[in-house]
Structure 1
Amino acid sequence: MKLVLAVLSLACVANAQWPLTIIDVLEKVGNETTLISLTKQAGLYNRLNGLGPFTLFAPTDAAFKLLPKDVMTELQSNKTLLKEVLEAHLVTGKVPIVEWTNDKLIPTVGGPNIRINVYDISRVAITLTANGAGVVNPDCHAIAGFVQVIDLVMYPLPNGTIVSEITSNNNLSTLATAVSKAGLVATLSAVDGNFTLFAPTNKAFSKLPAGVLDGLLKNVTALTNVLTYHVLSDVYNNVGLYYSSKLKTVQGKNVTIKASSRESIMVNNAAVLAEISKTNGVLHVIDTVLIPPTMHFEMVHNNTLPSHGIAPLTVPRTRAEQDHFGFLPLKMKFLLVLLPLLCAVSATENVLDVMRSLQLRSLVQLLEVADLSPTLENADSCTVFAPSDAAFAKIPPGIRKQLLSNQLLLREVLAFHASPKQYMSTDLKNNQLVETLLKGFLVRINIYPSTNTITADGSPVSKPDNKASNGVVHVVDQVLYPFPTGTVDGEISHNNNLSVLNEAVDKAGLGSALDGDGPFTLFAPTNDAFKKLPNGTLPSLLKNVTALTEILTYHVVSGVYYKAGLSDGEELTTLQKGKLVCHVNAKPGSDPQLTVNNAKAVGLPIPAVNGVVQMIDTVLIPPK
């Protein structure tokens, strides 16, 4: 890196004849007429036209134009403030970029430190920032020192710690209360800290369902878990975020960063509204509270907090739960024309009446408990994907207990099974995303001609088109839970059984592709699957991006393929252009076993918003 910095430092040296003073450099660089004019107004011109030595962090003319008009007017009319701001850009002594390190604090003539950050954006390039301003022309040399040209005016000046900001900012008062309750004030007040805090506004907290915030404030463990998921142990200003994709939080889990520009940044599903530099780090004000991927399960399992509406959430599943919460025997084939007639009931009955006629006792009872029966009875139109009694019987005891003891969670789960619109089976299309009563969550429909099967989030529809006066009921053979919340890439990054695959995907640079629209099916080798590779194979692959990409894309298929939709011997074409041969072996008294080439499917398929992840026990190797 020092070699790169040394090369960068030559950028302003047109020849061996260096300018004499800082002012000479500004005039030679160009695009600094505003700064030169302001140094005269502030009474600093003669000082900067002397021999120093100084290092000046010099905002360009364009940088000054980015300041709000009222701020610029105030600076020009208030000589004391103007001098204070300009002196906060001025350092006594020569500070070339070869002396810069990440999070280095450089004292200024005006008092506040300038925080330097060094971000590696590739193996051969870096980006430098000063209090969040990008250094666009480094080490412009003069006999009297250096000019570091920056693309933002460093204003307002960093003053106070992260905690002082949230306690004095009226828009962050709820966060301040939460930080105090969790006992994090001292940590985030540390003057030697280097923190990034994603700071939800009061409005962000108000978006939570009734009871969630009160529950968090009464549960220090849960509250701390949530708040530390908003904190990074290093400083990432907007520039740093722009060049990042995943960042590890103090809580331990990653947040996903997506940025189309420095002014348009998303952290998970939260938009960054503002950046505020402080003496011990930076705050990014966000419009949505972030919840760690494991938090949904923790809330529900401890029965202490309502569980939904906070952010996209993922419910981890243990191996025991995966083994119990499996597919029912697939006796699903049907004739789309004949079965609607066989299952039809009187259209004078509403959807609740139809479910009773179909003897869906468990579902009808749970809808009463969740207080959703009136919603469905009074709906003008609706579609219900209705789990059979056998489907509910397959739910693991632990999850069943959680549903029965937490009315809000139960209500969410059942709301995910209903759509406010009516869809007959003939209205459904492959990969159609159906709106549900659980706001923001969609059920993916798949239609598989090879098995004459329709699935809703992977659950086979065994009795379609049971018409009601206000909608239709489709009986499904699995409970649709957990909900799809993250992308394919997001699901593997949050799954502890897929950490090796996640590392490989990152190395190959495929994360953004698997974050795309899709839809995709990823046959995901578990950590144990990678252990079965011959010694030395995995380290070699991780060093060979071409070979690694070849193998990983051999695990990805365009389209969504659940076991219910695959016929025995069916071939799938991968993104690598190779073929996968799928076998579905049914044994009496047990669920059919899916194999892909020589790999067995293990655990439940994991629905994602852009496809599905199916874990497998063996790494698939493309034919040579």
Structure 2
Amino acid sequence: MKHLLRVLILSFISLTTFATVHQVNAGMFYYNPSSLTISLGDTVVWINDGGTHDVNANTNSVTGESFGNPESFNSSSTNVMGATMHTQVFNLAGTYEYDCSVGNHALQGMVGSITVEGGENGTVVEIIVNSPDHTILESAVILADLVDDLSGNGPFTVFAPTDAAFNALSAGALDALLDDENALTAVLLQHVHPGYVTADDLEEGMEVETLNEGILEVSVNGEVIMIDMSTVTFANIVADNGIVHVIDMVLLPSTDEQTVMDIIANSPIHTTLNQAITAANLQETLSGDGPFTVFAPADEAFDGLPPGTLDLILANQDELIDLLYNHVHSEEVYSEDLEDGMMVPTLNGTELEVSIDGMTVMINLATVIEADLPASNGVVHIIDKILLPEMGEVDTTVWSIIKASPIHTTLEAAIDAAGLGETLSGDGPYTVFAPTDDAFDALPEGAVDELLADIQLLTEILLHHVHADNALAEDLMDGMEIPTMNNDVLVVTIDGSSVMIDMASVIQADVVADNGVVHIIDMVLIPADPTSIEILFNNKDVEYLHTINLLGELVDRNSTDKIVIDIYSNGTSIKRYNLRQ
């Protein structure tokens, strides 16, 4: 980063503090001086001393061949004495030949040359190589064999994603990209424009062509410049053969010659989505006429699922198809068509809600991280989360919601073991705070097995998660006490958008059923008092004696130790898990 800042500062200095304006006078058959050596970023102004003349740095007026200059330019002719014929800023190093194309002036010796000496930055490749924040881009350019090409005369405008931008791709996607030279080359060339474009040249709505024959769309909001969905974090690092702008996201190429299925299959960040579509046998559907709008979750969106969830989804084709169809709209909708509050129907029969805040576009709870990848049969928008279908629209009871959920297999097994499925399928209404599989996995080792083996204790703990009425998220208030079906209470804590039930956080609220509502939580709720243990003893002669910790030391019955053991008069010992602490 320090080197990058140094390069940026030196580039700025070279363009401002030390930039020089040089004057060349033009008269009858002469430019004076006829040869000039300047520095990168300097300006040359041609002044007419008399007669009709121009400045031509395109095609040699004598031979008819191109001068082969690093950059071509020319002016209109003028016969006004003292007029400025042309002004040129030289941002590319090299030698420039030029002449006067009026009449036979060039043949009479009216020719000139300018040598532009490069700064210390070097070529666009050398800037990338010397930047500690672009090691992955450097490796990619080398692997794609583009070093010589991008070290040529140019000019090139390079939008250079940082290492952090590449690391934002899933690890598998980055490795797959680096292993596929054709795909890698296409991605890299999508970041290069065959011309010289400074930040000042970029305008709102401008389309920048790339060497991959793609288009990058420019968005300007105040001082923020975006290239597609990436933000320019450092601009105008001047090179001998072009200019580099640092960006915070990898730009993925797209082409409307591909179907939406082709775009997903060829994308290095959609390997999991491609796998899911293949497992659901939907490739042919998404390769059809369409049109389709696909909200395509990146690999990291799937990585955010609890462990094992993806395998469960892939194993159930009906659920998988429902999930995938929840990401597809049967019309072509580009970002410009989306409006705040708009509802987008899906092939799954559900609706997705659009939220727009400034330049941020959200589909339900997912953020659009790259929009408008056009296809021959529709358009693809890349999103950062999976769009889960509203389970309440498919299932009818809180019990069927839990059974259908791929992240509640332990809770399902517990309810089955306790024989509470029929209860939770009844009229209700019920509010169920449903701990995920991860929540059960967080219990001490062996706790789940012990619970499943002790139906009375298991039943009381499960009923501690159920309220015998409807309680939607909007009904919950800070400090509210919710009575449970085991005659205990749960305490609600609300802090901003965070909702907690006792010590558990609500991670998804309001999964609505016909007989109530399910709120997904991240911790198993344990009754506050050990009364759940007392019911194990029906013999009135059995009395509680004392409590010890795992070291065998006597502790208070309400000890804050995670695990304590209650000792009873008949010699029974009960291990207790104090999860409230």
Give the TM-score category using the shorter length: 0.3 to 0.5
Of Structure 1 and Structure 2, the greater strand share is in 2
TM score, norm. by length of structure 1: 0.36
Higher relative contact order by CA 8 Å / sep ≥ 6: 1 or 2? 1
Q: TM-score, normalised by structure 2?
A: 0.38
Larger radius of gyration: 2
Q: Is the helix fraction higher in 1 or 2?
A: 1
